[in-house]
A and B are shown apart, each in its own frame.
Chain A
Amino acid sequence: MIGMRMKALDLKLIRDIWRIKGQALAISLVQASGIALLVMSLGMIASLTETMTAYYDRYRFADIFAAATRAPELALEELRSIEGVSAVEGRVVGGGLVDIEGVDAPITAQFVSRSADATAPLNDVHIVRGRAPDPVRGDEILLLEAFADAHGLEPGDSLPVTVYGARRVFRIAGVALSPEYVYAIAPGALAVDDDRFAVIWASYDTLAPAFNLDGAFNEAVFRLARGVDAARVIPEIDRILAPYGGRGAYDNGDQVSNRFLSEELRQLTAMAFIMTPIFMSVTIFLLNVVISRMVQTEREQIGLLKSFGYTGGEIGAHYAKFALFIAIVGAAIGWLGGLYLGRVMTGIYQEYYRFPFLLFETDLRTIIYAAGLSVLGAGFGAITAVRAAVALLPAEAMRPPAPEFFRNAKGATKGFSLPLDRPTRMILRRIARRPFRSLALVFGIAAAMGLSVMMQFNHAAINHILHASFRVIDRSDMTVRFTEAIDEAAALELSKLDGVTHVEPFRDAAVIFVNGGKEHLGSITGVTSAPTLNRVLDDELRPAPVPESGLLLSAPLAQLLSADVGDEIEVRFREGRRPTISIEIVGLIDVMIGTPAYMSIEDLNARLMEPGRVSGAYLSVAPDARAALQRRTKEIPQLAAISVREEVLTNFEQMLSEGPGVFRVIMTFFATVIAVGVVYNGARITFAERRHDLASLRILGFTKAEAGYVVTGEIVTLAIAALPIGAVIGVLLWTYISTALSTELYQVPTVYDPAGLGVAGCTVVFAALVASFLIQKDVDKLDMASALKARD
């Protein structure tokens, strides 16, 4: 008989699940959200990692990059002989401008000479369209795909550029991708801007003369033998390149594109590992509330089963299966949803990061994670209820329940002496009579709201960074940057251009900070004594005075170097005469983004023994003169890049809404699912507990709405009670997460945006109203006779 037909207890299980299907589904969906998030993140992490590794490997992405001013080809032999180096190439890299008809804004170009090694070139390009340049035709180039796409450029088109003040016209032979420019960001820029940054690959013979580097190179790239530590090789490289203006070799961990990718991976991982437990906790909580209530209402049935001789274990297993079923359904939905979202997100990433291929990893291990986590969650969720069921004494369980005991005690009815109507009194008495149950629901709703609050704060924090960076700190209209530090007088020529109302020069220098055993590749920015266009502000946006002498270090940089105010740290300049000097830290500044270091421009120049030099300038420009000015500036010979603040801001916003920012949209959606899930479950439970009362009220002649109010009023009351607790939970979560998500590049500011509380609160109230509406419909359908008969 067994095996052929389903066991009666399992039939009960299935029918019970069906009876509360709405609730079960709500829990499953909360569970699914957590699992989906995990599967999606793990899938994306695996995909990105796999793709990155395969891409880097197949196209031989360099392990070490070392820039120099001018190193003779002979030096390559010496570099190649360093132990652990498996391949080395010298190449010419440099900046320029692209001139596209009809585009006023200057376009930054990065030139890279192509490897002469045809068999195993380092940092090889992947030609998407067209062909490789013909070696005998000096004017043929490869162009970065993103840029080509942004301007509709195709192989065969011509491309006018300005290199070192000289104008040339190249012909596009092909459109390409490179592991060096997965995240193609212009030097010094903050965000990807496809139409303003071009990477141009040309032959060495073409580029070397253009950059005055015949017979020489200004960057060496290395592949290391397997298992060789870059840190061991770098000092050797630096020693060899030092006489040729070596600027300090760095491993690809500091390579811009790679670093952004790694950051992205790190954030994804952090998200997955922070968010999944939060979602799991909410699922566990919901399961606990629902199963506990089932055990509570099925006391008699449990007693009955026990009287037949069913063991505690068998009965416990019955309720555990119930939790497990819901959890497994959730895991299945979550797993499938996670795979789907992972695919969608991977597609978005591929648009955003340029890979020649993107392997979406359907890692089957995620099934195990999903199943394992859900089983674990179900176990935790059910354990107390199952234990209660196991412990129940059969005779005890089957005694018909005594009518609920209501006291007229002062505590329980305090404040109820207000002139309240009967139903409202019923609501308040009930909440007060079962404080723990009410509190549990309040906390569940509050947890959901906390998630919402956190997502809102996250959003606000990003807006805060953008606003601070582009409206408060940087108040310039444009930033120009020269190919190298030039004389101040030349820079001040800029102010003579039409429409320029203010010029604020700056000097920055690439350096390596060294303190004790700690090193950091960074830069020092020299600012004028009272900057007005790009100010030095701390994370609270208060102006920080830049000392006349010595370093003003950002706090995270100081932390990286284990240095503090008063310490002298070693600064190895990577440009000019490349002196190594020690500079005293005279102040620290808390910052929002990055790890900057500031000095006064005079002090910086004096220490470099290059008085009166500037690297670029911030400009204030009359609005109607901007377009004309952009056209004019393109003719300035030493100009390396121009950025327009508004455009940078737009790019950032675009990245946040269209690129990886979609992740946040998904998270916000999940937070809403949780809020609705919790509130709806609470409402269903309250409804089920009050079926008898509701039926009685209806029999006594109360209208459907009046009867429904007893339940909906309770839900709304609990939801409102949850608001302040939810706000507190949100603030705590956000404090934790903003710290956990902060990286060296981004200190996620822990701002608490009151509007975020409002939005999250509205989400909860909205969820409560939706739940109330659904419950009122159940009340409308309530069959009085069966409600009185069946104890459900």
Chain B
Amino acid sequence: MFPGALLDRFAERRQAAHSQDPDGFAFRASGLTKVYGDGAAAVHALRGVDLEVGRGELIVLLGPSGSGKSTLLNILGGIDRASAGVAFYESAELTAMSDRTLTAYRRRHVGFIFQFYNLMPSLSARENVDLVGEIAADPMDAVEALSLVGLAERVNHFPSELSGGEQQRVAIARAIAKNPDVLFCDEPTGALDSKTGIEVLRVLKDLNERLSTTILIVTHAAATAAMADRVMHFSDGRIREVVTNESKADPADIHW
């Protein structure tokens, strides 16, 4: 799905970065907790999460609503802070980083696709992608990225002129345009019909397999789990179970 030249360029960069420590972890965390509020009103969103995510792994997080999936993603993605515990990206301790370092971390390594589309309403599809390209080291062209998610025809449309699914695809194009080392997807297909959803998942799979991008996907669609390397089951702020898939399913075979 990715054009060859682009793939080579992106893959090279990843390879160069990983060559020193080929089998390293992307993420390690232990005892991660997150408490919102205090006293009687305190909500324990995370109650001690330990995990390891290998480089280039595709992880799916499953669990009931309110179990803390988004919270974990936000902490690993460097947009929220844990209340206690430690988390590392490669060898850098996320939980000890200053705001400035966290910003640099997000800028260089992280891509997000959010549960809600989160586009800039005053920018067109293409400009929304440019927004990230402008601060990335070696970004994909915005039109190219939008073509990858099937929006070549709508590059100049504003969010208010796009359907929910189209908006989500712009968000995906935006996330992949910077060729992130890790990609966090919070219910990326939640608002999509199954055909579009499969397209989106195929893009993610491609990204993971051919560019070895580390990907964490939160979803309510249990079937999606089939395409993961490993599946983490959440409940009540804890990882209850981790299942390793013997063989990964192709997005085309997933139904929900």
- Closest residue to B107 on the A side, CB-wise? A309
B104 close to chain A: CB less than 8 A? yes
B242 close to chain A: CB less than 8 A? no
Q: How far is the CA of A15 from the CA of B123 in the complex (A)?
A: 8
B103, B116, B121: which contacts A306 (Cβ < 8 A)? B103
For residues 386 through 432 of chain A, which have their beta carbon under 8 Å from a beta carbon of chain B?
Answer: 393-396, 398, 400
Of A88-96, A296-304, A356-364, which stretch is located at the interface?
A296-304
Query: A590-620 vs B: 1/0 string, CB under 8 Å?
Result: 0000000000000000000000000000000
Of B15-23, B51-59, B129-137, B206-214, which stretch is located at the interface?
B129-137
Of B3-11, B72-80, B87-95, B146-154, which stretch is located at the interface?
B72-80
Q: Are B103 and A312 in contact (CB under 8 A)?
A: yes
When distances are taken between beta carbons in the complex, the residues of chain A under 8 Å from B80 are 393-396
Q: How far is the CA of A396 from the CA of B79 in the complex (A)?
A: 8
Q: Are B79 and A306 in contact (CB under 8 A)?
A: yes
Q: Are B121 and A311 in contact (CB under 8 A)?
A: no
For residues 263 through 307 of chain A, which have their beta carbon under 8 Å from a beta carbon of chain B?
Answer: 300-301, 303-307
Q: For the A-B complex with A300-B118, A395-B79, A790-B121 known, give 19 more contacts whose Cβ atoms are closer than 8 Å.
A: A1-B133, A8-B134, A11-B123, A11-B127, A16-B122, A19-B122, A301-B120, A303-B79, A305-B131, A306-B103, A307-B114, A308-B131, A309-B103, A309-B104, A309-B106, A309-B110, A310-B103, A312-B99, A396-B80
Q: Are A789 and B160 in contact (CB under 8 A)?
A: yes
B112 close to chain A: CB less than 8 A? yes
When distances are taken between beta carbons in the complex, the residues of chain A under 8 Å from B220 are none
Q: How far is the CA of A473 from the CA of B104 in the complex (A)?
A: 78
Query: A631-670 vs B: 1/0 string, CB under 8 Å?
Result: 0000000000000000000000000000000000000000
Q: How far is the CA of A393 from the CA of B131 in the complex (A)?
A: 19
B195 close to chain A: CB less than 8 A? no
CB distance from B143 to the nearest CB of A (A): 12
**Interface residues of A, Cβ cutoff 8 Å to B:** 1-2, 7-9, 11-12, 15-16, 19, 300-301, 303-312, 314, 393-396, 398, 400, 786, 789-792
A19, A301, A307: which contacts B79 (Cβ < 8 A)? A307
Known contacts A8-B131, A394-B80; is A304 also within 8 Å of B120 by CB?
A: yes
Q: How far is the CA of A37 from the CA of B106 in the complex (A)?
A: 48
7 sample A-B contacts, Cβ–Cβ < 8 Å, listed by A number:
A7-B130, A7-B134, A8-B120, A300-B118, A393-B79, A395-B80, A398-B79
Main secondary structure of the interface of A (DSSP, over half): helix
CB distance from B58 to the nearest CB of A (A): 21
Q: How far is the CA of A304 from the CA of B171 in the complex (A)?
A: 11
- Closest residue to A786 on the B side, CB-wise? B160
Q: How far is the CA of A303 from the CA of B99 in the complex (A)?
A: 13
A2, A306, A792: which contacts B134 (Cβ < 8 A)? A2
- Closest residue to B132 on the A side, CB-wise? A308
Q: Are A791 and B121 in contact (CB under 8 A)?
A: yes
Q: How far is the CA of A11 from the CA of B120 in the complex (A)?
A: 11
- Closest residue to B141 on the A side, CB-wise? A1
B99, B118, B131: which contacts A9 (Cβ < 8 A)? B131
- Closest residue to A16 on the B side, CB-wise? B122
Known contacts A306-B103, A308-B107, A309-B108; is A398 also within 8 Å of B123 by CB?
A: no
Q: How far is the CA of A303 from the CA of B110 in the complex (A)?
A: 14
B33 close to chain A: CB less than 8 A? no
Q: Are A8 and B103 in contact (CB under 8 A)?
A: no
B77, B100, B104, B130: which contacts A307 (Cβ < 8 A)? B77
B128 close to chain A: CB less than 8 A? yes
For residues 191 through 241 of chain B, which have their beta carbon under 8 Å from a beta carbon of chain A?
Answer: none
When distances are taken between beta carbons in the complex, the residues of chain B under 8 Å from A9 are 131, 134
CB distance from B166 to the nearest CB of A (A): 13
Q: How far is the CA of A309 from the CA of B110 in the complex (A)?
A: 8
Q: How far is the CA of A423 from the CA of B74 in the complex (A)?
A: 40
When distances are taken between beta carbons in the complex, the residues of chain A under 8 Å from B100 are 311
Q: How far is the CA of A16 from the CA of B79 in the complex (A)?
A: 25
When distances are taken between beta carbons in the complex, the residues of chain A under 8 Å from B133 are 1
Q: How far is the CA of A786 from the CA of B100 in the complex (A)?
A: 37
- Closest residue to A390 on the B side, CB-wise? B99
- Closest residue to A300 on the B side, CB-wise? B118
Task: Identify which of B100, B118, B122, B133 gathers the most chain A CB atoms within 10 Å of its CB.
Answer: B122
When distances are taken between beta carbons in the complex, the residues of chain A under 8 Å from B135 are 308-310, 314
Q: Are B121 and A792 in contact (CB under 8 A)?
A: yes
Task: Identify which of A8, A300, A312, A398 gathers the most chain B CB atoms within 10 Å of its CB.
Answer: A8
Q: Are B122 and A304 in contact (CB under 8 A)?
A: no
- Closest residue to A400 on the B side, CB-wise? B116
When distances are taken between beta carbons in the complex, the residues of chain B under 8 Å from A16 are 122
CB distance from A782 to the nearest CB of B (A): 15
Q: Are B123 and A12 in contact (CB under 8 A)?
A: yes
When distances are taken between beta carbons in the complex, the residues of chain B under 8 Å from A311 are 100, 103, 107
Q: Are A12 and B122 in contact (CB under 8 A)?
A: yes
CB distance from A322 to the nearest CB of B (A): 12
For residues 142 through 177 of chain B, which have their beta carbon under 8 Å from a beta carbon of chain A?
Answer: 160
For residues 66 through 88 of chain B, which have their beta carbon under 8 Å from a beta carbon of chain A?
Answer: 74, 77, 79-81
CB distance from B177 to the nearest CB of A (A): 11
CB distance from B134 to the nearest CB of A (A): 6
Q: How far is the CA of A396 from the CA of B34 in the complex (A)?
A: 13
A15, A300, A398, A786: which contacts B122 (Cβ < 8 A)? A15
CB distance from A688 to the nearest CB of B (A): 13
Q: How far is the CA of A395 from the CA of B99 in the complex (A)?
A: 13
